[in-house]
Structure 1
Amino acid sequence: MALFYVQGLPIGAVAIMLALLASMGGFIFGYDTGQISDIVLMPDFLVRFGSCGTPGVASTCSFSDVREGLIVALLSIGTLVGALAGAPTADFLGRRYAMSVECFVFVVGVIIQISSEHVWQQFAVGRFISGLGVGSLSAAVPMYQAETAPPQIRGTLTATYQLFITFGILVAYCISIGTRDIPSSGSWRIVVGIGILWALILGIGILFMPESPRWLAAHDRLDDAQASIARTRGIPASEASDHYVIRREVEEIRSNVLYEKNISAGWIDCFKVENKTLYRTLLGMSLQSLQQLTGANYFFYYGATVFLSVGIADSFVTQIILGAVNFFCTFGGMYIMERFGRRRPLIIGGLWQAAWLFIFASAAISTDPATNPGMGKLMIVSACMFIWGYAMTWAPGVWILIGETFPTRTRAKQGSISTAANWLWNFLIAFFTPFIIKSISYKYGYIFASCNLLGAFVVYFFLYESSDLSLESVNMMYIDPDCKPWTSRNWAPPGFASRQDLIDQSRAAEAHKPLASGALEETRIEKRSSKNSSEEV
């Protein structure tokens, strides 16, 4: 039975459950990202893996820029490789089984990390192996969510991936502040080891969710695809074949699969000009790269170190503040991306983020923030306002777009290539930040601010508006020669006058089906449909 209705169409509880469960992949990503910022400052970790002037005395221990960069950034190298491996894995095993295997790889990496004694290279290699799992999940999860979620709430459900990334970061900060005073290796081993729990939740739980209907259809399992759609819509399997919404979605998927079935889809196909495939590959890579170049991970990876250097007494607490802002504002981001589409939030977000990074950098270089508490506070406020804008626009928006921009036959591979670009810049920022800060200090913020302006430019001139459309309709929009990015908000599939007409006709058709909300809801929808028809006449 449908849990609720959106635009007059049924949404089942399973659609919400699978989005939340799959988003544990994002939680793992965020948890691994957030933990390292605090771990590299823990006394036991410094004594074991740092270079010490007096053996065993943490205050005399430190990391060289190269060592710290590798410990932090090797996760990103693993995720880069994992993201590329995620596509063939997800295509071969199916989206669900691929996620289970990737969780196992992550657990192996965690075990290697927590078993490290004094060899920092072992810990770094463990992060690399964990990164293989995280990277593969970052390619598989948004794709699975986009392929399985009903179009009417696809943006919100796909955005839960980013929400869980922020939640993972925040939880890592909170656990770290709780364990930092443990005198033994438990201070960091507990933080790292708890990651196994998150992987078990996802790796086992996802097996109880429906498989992607588009993957099933591509493997000649249309009956299973129909059953999968019915589960996410909350429609009994016995009624699925006679239900308007289910029949329409199955037919759309079937037609698209038949069209693409005899077309080979190797990696090289992702770079072919036909049907704007190359265009979309480059667009996906650009958006993922620019998401990293917003500067968000500068704060997540090195925030504790940054705020310690400006005289903040407890940089761990500052990290929790940033993490909390990031997490709670992502709820707003889920609403914004569903209510206002994809293009406008990303454009406004890029401008907003650039403005606050200019303020952050200017405050830092105008005077020594370590001796000027006012400037230090302004930097924290600027960082929070930047994170506020990022969490509500670029953070969820890019992951949503990666799931819904590409055609079915190359979606997994294009998603992997795009995500790999994200992880490449993730590594570059994580590894080179200590060197760059040593050279230009907080002027680094001006570089990130400029990249945010570039992001707004790219979105305006190259990104098509994909909200409210099925994945198959998104593909049709991109290959329509008469549709331009800045006019794409008004585009609709053949047979519909506009995007709103598509929504209204779906409501009107569904109004003739029994609704959980009863006859009153059915009458309301029919009246609205009649009113719209009169206005058009």
Structure 2
Amino acid sequence: MADRTAEDKAISGQPKNTLIADFDPPQKPKRNNFAIACSILACMTSILLGYDIGVMSGANLFIQEDLKIDDVKIQILTGTLNIYSLIGSGLAGRTSDWIGRRYTVVLSGAIFFVGAILMGVAPNYAFLMFGRFVAGIGVGYGLMISPVYTAEISPTLSRGFLTSFPEVFVNLGILLGYVSNYAFSKLRPHLAWRFMLGIGALPAIILAVGVLAMPESPRWLVMQGRLGDAKRVLNKTSASKEEAQLRLDDIKEAAGIAKDLDDDVVPVAKKSRGEGVWKDLILHPTPAVRHILIAALGIHFFEQASGIDSVVLYSPRIFQKAGIKSKDHLLLVTMAVGFVKTIAILVATFFLDRFGRRRLLLTSVAGMVFSLVCLAVGLTIINDHRDKVPWAIALCITMVLFNVAFFSIGLGPITWVYSSEIFPLKLRAQGVSMGVAVNRLTSGAISMSFLSLSKAITIGGAFFLYAGIAAVSWVFFYTMLPETRGRTIEHMEVLFGKYHRWREAKAVLEKSKQGDGDENKSQIK
């Protein structure tokens, strides 16, 4: 193992053993405004998913009234966008390796734009489903590409802050969807839901224009042999030219290119189009890659299996069950969910690089377990009483807010940060696309089954089930996910392969510190 990583040298200037460095408090990152601007533009694709989630929570009430459809069709309509997005996320990995990360962002916005227009003008249920099919493909592309691009353009010490942006924009989109619901709720039902869904085309237009100012990912440029272009991008997104050169050297090494090769010379090696990835990722993975894949797919599965989509998509129905009947009051309380969720994710972005991924993740999931259990208890009590139970209603509303807040300070953003930073360079696009596919498949299954599940085992029973899944996820995260803060994504594999390696490293660190202390004492004597 090298004595230190390249960015340790560039930032600290002091030799440091990487095993020990993993557990030292990271230095305060120096923000790069250009990298932040690029990340914001790329992550605007996530607004598209967030807006659809938020707007459908209220729009489905008006769709059901206007089109006269039952609960089964409503939950299928609500959840199928997640299933359709599997197509986009499945294609996005190879597409982004072929045409680049930046143009994949453009493609995502263009597809969603068409889908939003189709949904807005849909004359019937079948046409509406077709519009959601098109929009879902665009969402799938965006969910995969935004965290990949952001992770690849971010300096190491700012990576947690910047790669949490996709989740920030998902939450902003959800809030915009809730606001749209309230704004158009005064229209007649047949107009209300069409305006709610159709106006989602606006973010896609802004995205398509703004992306022209983005540079291509430097890591993708290196994979294509465009070293000079990659260096110019790194110069703009690094704290100094020295750091940019060291980042470039790390990327070259990860791509199998000699460090001493002139940056203006195109390597003779064949440009990467994603060939051989599935063999290295699935058929014959190394122990480290296998562990990385399990961790990435696991965190994506548990993010959705713990029921967050049921809380967000069906929050008006949850509040209806809790005893709130007025549509205006339902949508206002639902807007409060959006505000709390957005504030919590903004707070989380500033703590990811300070406290680390593991600590926030485990705290977040523990809070979700608590809130889900309390919500289940409150809903069960309300369901068992004919008369209103004011304290139980207050408990339900409070626990919904707690649940989305705990989700947003940890599990929500860390899922995307973690899975986008742990894969090796060659495997990153396809690996992240697999994670997104698991995420969307699980999300679709949860959102399309919630109403039926609530009828089968009661709404309280459904949330008891989600609480149990969240508890299992806490054990999985504690066992399988090492801390990744402060390590370059080119040197991430060393943390994986032995499932308790970070604990071994911590023991070495403590022993080393103890040895240093004994040595200092002896010198004093």
Q: Tell me whether the two structures share a fold, i.e. TM-score over 0.5.
A: yes
Q: Distance in 1 between matches of 2:299 and 2:212?
A: 31
Query: Which residue matches 1:416?
Result: 433
Does 2:86 correspond to 1:71?
A: no
Report if aligned partners of 1:11, 1:232 keep a CA contact under 8 Å in 2.
Answer: no
Specify the alignment match of 2:516 in structure 1.
none
Equivalent position SS for 1:386: helix
Contact 1:288 1:422 in 2 (8 A): yes
- Residues 230-258 of structure 1: CA deviation (Å, up to 9, x unaligned): 111265xxxx4xx2x11211111111101
Q: Offset of 1:315 from its aligned partner? A: 1.2
Structure-1 residue corresponding to 2:368: 353
Structure 1's unaligned 5+ residue stretches are 51-62, 499-533
Q: Deviations over 1:408-448 (max 9, x none)?
A: 11111110001100000111011111110011111111111
Q: Contact 1:349/1:390 (CA < 8 Å) preserved in 2?
A: yes
- 2:96 maps to 90
What secondary structure sits across from 1:397 in the alignment? helix
For the pair 1:400 / 2:398, whether they are aligned, the reply is no
1:327 aligns with 2:342: yes
Q: Report the CA distance between 1:7 and its aligned residue.
A: 3.8
Q: Distance in 2 between matches of 1:393 and 1:488?
A: 24
The answer as to 2:503 corresponding to 1:470 is no
TM-score of the two chains, using structure 1 as the length reference: 0.83
CA distance in structure 1 between the aligned counterparts of 2:341 and 2:204, rounded to whole angstroms: 22
Tell me, in whole angstroms, the C-alpha distance in 2 between the residues paired with 1:198 and 1:535. 62
For 1:491 and 1:157, locate their aligned partners in 2 and report how far apart those are by CA, in whole Å: 31
* Distance of 2:484 and 2:197 partners within structure 1: 38
- Sort the Cα spacing of 1:300 and 1:452 in 2 relative to 1 into closer, same or farther, 3 A: same
Unaligned runs of at least 5 residues, structure 2: 1-11, 13-25, 259-268, 514-519
For residues 130-149 of structure 1, the aligned pairs below 5 Å read 130-149=135-154
Q: 1:536 to 1:377 in 2, by over 3 A?
A: farther
Partners of 1:439 and 1:463 in 2: CA distance: 35
Structure 1 segment 24-43 matched on structure 2, within 5 A: 24-42=44-62
1:11, distance to aligned residue in structure 2 (A): 3.8
3-state secondary structure, aligned to 1:343: helix
Cα displacement (A) at 1:278: 2.3
Q: Give the match for residue 155 of structure 1.
A: 160
Trace 1:315-464 onto structure 2 (pairs within 5 A).
Answer: 315-368=330-383, 371-441=388-458, 442-464=460-482
Cα drift, residue 165 of structure 1? 0.6
Query: What is the RMSD of the two structures over their aligned residues, measured on CA atoms?
Result: 2.7
Aligned residue identity for 2:442 = W
1:252 counterpart = 2:270: no
> 2:104 aligned with 1:104, yes or no?
no
The answer to whether the aligner puts 1:114 opposite 2:126 as a matched pair is: no
**Following TM superposition, by how much is the alpha carbon of 1:319 offset from its aligned partner in structure 2, in angstroms?**
0.8
Tell me the residue number matched to 1:307: 319
| Partners of 1:460 and 1:486 within 8 A in 2 | no
| Cα distance in 2 for residues equivalent to 1:320 and 1:482 | 41
The DSSP-based 3-state class of the residue aligned with 2:484 is coil
Deviations 1:209-250 (A, max 9, x none): 111111010110111111111111265xxxx4xx2x112111
**1:150–1:122 distance in 2 versus 1, CA, 3 Å:** same
Native 8 Å contact 2:66 2:189 kept in 1? no
- Tell whether 2:83 aligns with 1:46: no
Please give the per-residue CA displacement for 1:169-224, whole angstroms capped at 9, x wherever unaligned.
01110111011111264312222122111012222212211111110101101111
Structure 1 position 13 matched with structure 2 position 25: no
The more displaced of 215-224 and 328-337 is 328-337
SS of equivalent residue, structure 1 residue 371: coil
In structure 2, how many angstroms separate the alpha carbons of the residues matched to 1:397 and 1:22? 18
Aligned AA (1:377): A
The Cα offsets for residues 470-529 of structure 1, whole Å up to 9 and x where unpaired, read as: 1011123325x597144567899xxxx99xxxxxxxxxxxxxxxxxxxxxxxxxxxxxxx
- Structure 1 pair 482–385 and aligned structure 2 pair: CA distance change class (3 A): closer
Letter in structure 1 aligned against 2:146? V
C-alpha distance 170-8 of structure 1, shift in aligned 2 (>3 A): closer
> Contact 2:382/2:389 (CA < 8 Å) preserved in 1?
yes
Task: Encode CA deviations 1:385-417: one digit per residue, 9 max, x unaligned.
Answer: 111111101011111001101111111111000
Matching of residue 269 in structure 1 with residue 280 in structure 2: yes
Are residues 1:291 and 2:297 paired? no
Deviation sequence 1:273-307 (CA, Å, 0-9, x none): 31422221122111001000222111111111121
- Matching residue within 215, 222, 228 for 1:223: 228
**Quick one: which amino acid aligns to residue 121 of structure 2?**
S
The residue identity in structure 2 corresponding to 1:219 is Q
Q: Is the 8 A contact 2:45 2:108 kept in 1?
A: no
Quote the offset at 1:48 in angstroms.
3.6
Q: Contact 1:273–1:279 at 8 Å: present in 2 too?
A: no
Between the aligned partners of 2:94 and 2:506, the Cα distance in structure 1 is 33
Match of 1:164 in 2: 169
Taking the aligned partners of 1:455 and 1:431, their CA distance within structure 2 comes to 21
Letter in 2 for 1:41: L
**1:25-57: CA deviations, max 9, x gaps?**
111110011111100112xx335422xxxxxxx
With over 3 angstroms needed to count, the CA separation of the structure-2 counterparts of 1:198 and 1:482, relative to structure 1, is closer
Deviation string 1:144-169 (CA, Å, 9 cap, x unpaired) is 00010111110011111111111110
Cα separation, 2, equivalents of 1:131 and 1:100: 15
Percent of pairs identical after alignment? 24
- In the other structure, the counterpart of 1:507 is none
Residue number among 9, 22, 26 corresponding to 2:42 in the alignment? 22
Deviates more, 1:261-270 or 1:451-460: 261-270
Matched ranges for 1:480-519 at <5 A: 484-487=501-504
CA contact (8 A) 1:460 1:485 kept: no
Aligned-partner SS, 2:299: helix
Rounded to whole Å, the distance in 1 between the matches of 2:506 and 2:166 is 24
Structure 2 Cα separation of the partners of residues 463 and 482 of structure 1: 8
Which residue identity lines up with residue 314 of structure 2 in the other structure? Y
Equivalent residue letter for 2:315: G
Q: For 1:81 and 1:364, locate their aligned partners in 2 and report how far apart those are by CA, in whole Å.
A: 36
Aligned length: 474
The letter of the residue matching 1:78 is Y
Query: What's the secondary structure of 1:41's corresponding residue?
Result: helix
Q: Distance in 2 between matches of 1:213 and 1:350?
A: 34
- Kept in 2, the 8 Å contact 1:477–1:483? The answer is no
For the residues of structure 1 that align with 2:319 and 2:90, how far apart are their CA atoms?
35
Relative distance call for 1:40 and 1:488 in structure 2 (3 A) is farther
Is the Cα contact below 8 Å between 1:461 and 1:485 reproduced in 2?
A: no
The AA in structure 1 aligned to 2:281 is C
Per the TM alignment, residue 335 of structure 1 is displaced from its structure 2 partner at its CA by 2.1
State the distance in 2 between where 1:436 and 1:288 align: 22
Any conservation in 2 of the 1:35–1:192 contact (CA below 8 Å)? Answer: yes
* Contact in 2 for aligned 1:87/1:415 (Cα 8 Å): yes
Query: Equivalents in 2 of 1:457, 1:9: separation in Å?
Result: 31
